[in-house]
Chain A
Amino acid sequence: MGSHGIKDRVAIVGMGCTRFTEHWDKGVDELLLAATGEAFASAGVTKEQVDAYWLGTAQSGMSGLTLSRPLRLKDKPVTRVENYCATGSEALRQAAYAVASGAYDVAMAVGVEKVKDSGYQGLNAFPIPNDGTQRTLTAAAMFSMVAPAYGRKYGVSDTEMRTVLARIASKNHANGARNPRAQFRKEMSVERLCAMPAVAGGLSVFDCAGVADGAAAALVVRAEDAHRYTDDPLLIKALSFVAGDGSGLTDPSYDYTTFPEVAASARDAYAQAGIADPAGELAMAEVHDCFTPTELVLLEDLGLAERGTAWKGVLDGVYDLDGALPVNPDGGLKSFGHPVGASGLRMMFEAWLQLRGEAPGERRISTFGDRSLALTHNLGGYPGEMVSFVAILGTP
């Protein structure tokens, strides 16, 4: 038994990503065609040259037909996957393992979500018949409980915490403002963010991820074949995934200041990739900032900051675009938007652009040229019951 990973055995050779926004004039089909078309073009392949497809969508369609129909794929294995908000990452994980196994030469992972057709704000889960005893709380409210718990444990006052969270949102808005594919392209000052009315616990709507439609896609091949498609592939260094047992919700020792599933998946990923000092080795990290306190805790669970110190790093600008370790340089869920099934692949798309030097100068990470590893982290669920995905990607 063991989690061995597939370090350096699989390469990403092409990617595509739509703008994440309210695509009132585009449906799932159009979004899928746009993202896959860009990915095909970037690797110089046709859809026929791809041997197998994995489509991640949380609730915008069922089965592989959601992809095979609009792309007019003939006689191809197409699998729809779902793993909460980590759905897009799961699609890539399956495609990468399929290629690594030797079963296929070329595989594509696609993620898509059309969330703005529901008629309601926010994300609304498709109801599964149940006994009526399920929690009705929003994700915002569940994650809002993290902020006061963290503050109490580490002696951060409510006012300081408000500033820390606003600083995270402000950073991600600043990054999104420089990114033409992001949903929100407007800078927001800490002062303005602090003045927003609370809607869930102490969180305002500006502490929450943008709700957007979008799609992203990646083509993977065995690393030794990568040169046939591109001169500068990204190598997969680690893929880890943990589904928690949900005990955090009912475990009296759980204190809402950490996500154990994330810490476990990070440990596994760093072991696969051979990373000993993530804060010192990573060039950037894309983390699942569904809410601002989530990003704060993730910095610690992912080992990018010591326990109880991430809030200071946030205030000191460590994770800014020009900081020591840029986090969410593309704007993150906060500013880039969060079409559930696409977000995991969107994070990899940013690593694809940044590590390969394709991000334009005005939004290039400070570490470019010095470091060559990127982390993407994607979670789904709530404090106490979540799934967590961590990938490490790097240039050869």
Chain B
Amino acid sequence: MMRRMRGILSWGGYLPHRRLDRRAIAGIAGKGGGGGTRTVASYDEDAVTLGVAAARLALRHAPAAPASLWFATTDPPYLDKTNATTVHAALRLDRETPAYDAVGSVRSAAGALRAALASDGPALVVAGDLRGGLPGGADEAAGGDGGSALLVGGADAGPVLAELCAVASATEEFTDRWRVPGEAASRLWEERFGETRYTALGVEAVKVALGRAGVAAAEVGALAVAGLHARASAAVAARSGVPAEHVVDRLEGTVGVTGAAHPGLLLASALEDAASAPAGRVIVLLVLSDGADAFVFRTTGALAAHHVADAVAAQAARGVSVDYGTYLAWRGMLPVEPPRRPEPARPSSSAAARNAAWKYGFTGSRGDDGVVRMPPSPLDATPALMADARGTIVTFTVDRLAYSPSPPVVFAVVDFDGGGRLPIELTDVAPDDVAIGGRVEPVFRRLFTADGIHNYFWKARPVRDGEG
């Protein structure tokens, strides 16, 4: 079957700022934990904001705008209401670009990627996930929080960085892991049962996919196995025939397994590693979730020139620790005394819809007088796109009286490069680390939830990617 060349046009991996040292768990929970760290989403991050953060990195140096959007997660902020439309609005995508959720299992992410690779035009596959479990459990320690985004498309949209060579799937019905909607943790069947099933499925999918691509296992330059079953992931890699040194680090020791975001995150990691290698590296992404999905890519000569916004490895090496009690409180596992202030009212849906460009897209206005106004003024005709503008802290304050899901509120007056000033809440920051003159960048976050409505808006965080 001949088909147009299609593959990866750009990618982004996002890791939240906080890390939980797994050794801190057993002292509180009485068991569990282990070595290494896992990533922890801030109290103001959810699957949508993690996905948005990754997508913004993917689009920063992308050759084309997405013509469709898929959003995958196992932890959707909403049911009945589409989560992908929030991602769409935060990315200021075109109104004609459809946005669909792929929600529920890790396999949703594989399905979204497969659909995107089969569709017309550039397609953005976004995933965000918060993984955890009950305190002291294996899932709590093994899980991680993160986002990933893959822009796929054909050569007509821009240089293809890794061409899709083949896809193969194996589907099977069995109950290894399950979670009733609303529950905080998965339940698991005996580990060996899932390991046996997944190992067979994975080996089979890789074999079929490599056969279709005409590549021998020994020629695979990178095999990335993403799935929630750790032992199965290791076993498949060991039996795949791919040389052990070509098996991609699953980031279990530093990040944890980020659920639906993990396939994209590992592929991003493999692409970043391949960028400095000769073109033609074969990268296999295998997703183990209620079956197995294998994607075979081959890197092109364009990969080396691609600008990576903020590499996964660089983010994995950053981050600051969060104590276990704070982690539990942020996850709702440890109910702490709320601030003695009135809880915020739910945002108005009609007002939010009317002001969507500002609220979700961080779009201000520029007047005939050249002044940038945030929020935008109805008297100004020109939009001012502020989401990618960085700024400098003019002054700041720490508010221990204001309502916050995680006090205190750190607030700064920020002058943005290219014009515009906004008093804006800071996040991912310790009060003592804020300084006048500090550089910050806008980030899309969930401020609070009231009456079940998640109030999304923008905050600012210190610039940490070295680009000032």
Residues of A near any B CB (own CB < 8 A):
118, 120-122, 124, 127, 129-133, 135-138, 140-142, 144-145, 148-149, 198-201, 249-252, 254, 256, 384
Contacts and interface: CB of A to CB of B under 8 A. Distances in A.
B398 A133 contact: no
A129 B401 contact: no
B355 interface: yes
B423 A135 contact: yes
B343 to A, nearest CB: 10
Contacts of B425: 135-137
B332 interface: no
11 contacts: A118-B342, A120-B342, A132-B456, A132-B457, A137-B402, A137-B425, A138-B402, A141-B401, A252-B419, A252-B420, A256-B395
B374 A250 contact: yes
B421 interface: yes
A252 B415 contact: yes
B345 A129 contact: yes
Contacts of B327: none
B95 interface: no
Given A120-B340, A131-B352, A145 B404 contact: no
Given A141-B399, A145-B395, A250-B371, 8 more contacts: A127-B344, A131-B359, A132-B351, A135-B423, A136-B425, A201-B398, A249-B422, A250-B372
B447 interface: yes
A132 B359 contact: yes
Contact of B421 (A132, A138, A249): A249
Given A129-B351, A201-B398, A145 B413 contact: yes
Ranked nearest first, the 5 interchain pairs of A and B with the lowest CB-CB distance are A132-B347, A141-B399, A201-B397, A131-B351, A129-B348
A257 to B, nearest CB: 10
Nearest to B401: A138
A142 B396 CA distance: 9
A135 B409 CA distance: 11
Contact of A200 (B344, B397, B413): B397
A118 B343 CA distance: 12
B421 A251 contact: yes
B400 interface: yes
A144 B373 contact: no
B403 interface: yes
B77 interface: no
Given A120-B342, A249-B421, A251-B421, A131 B401 contact: no
B4 interface: no
Contacts of B404: 136
B389 to A, nearest CB: 13
B345 A127 contact: yes
A118 B420 CA distance: 37
A137 B399 contact: yes
A132 B404 CA distance: 14
Given A118-B342, A120-B341, A131-B354, A141 B409 contact: yes
Contacts of A142: 397, 423
B10 interface: no
Contacts of B348: 129-132
Contacts of A200: 397-401
B398 A252 contact: no
Contacts of B34: none
B460 to A, nearest CB: 13
Contacts of B422: 249-250
Given A250-B373, A252-B415, A121 B359 contact: no
A133 B403 contact: no
A219 to B, nearest CB: 37
Nearest to B362: A133
Contacts of A250: 371-374, 420-422
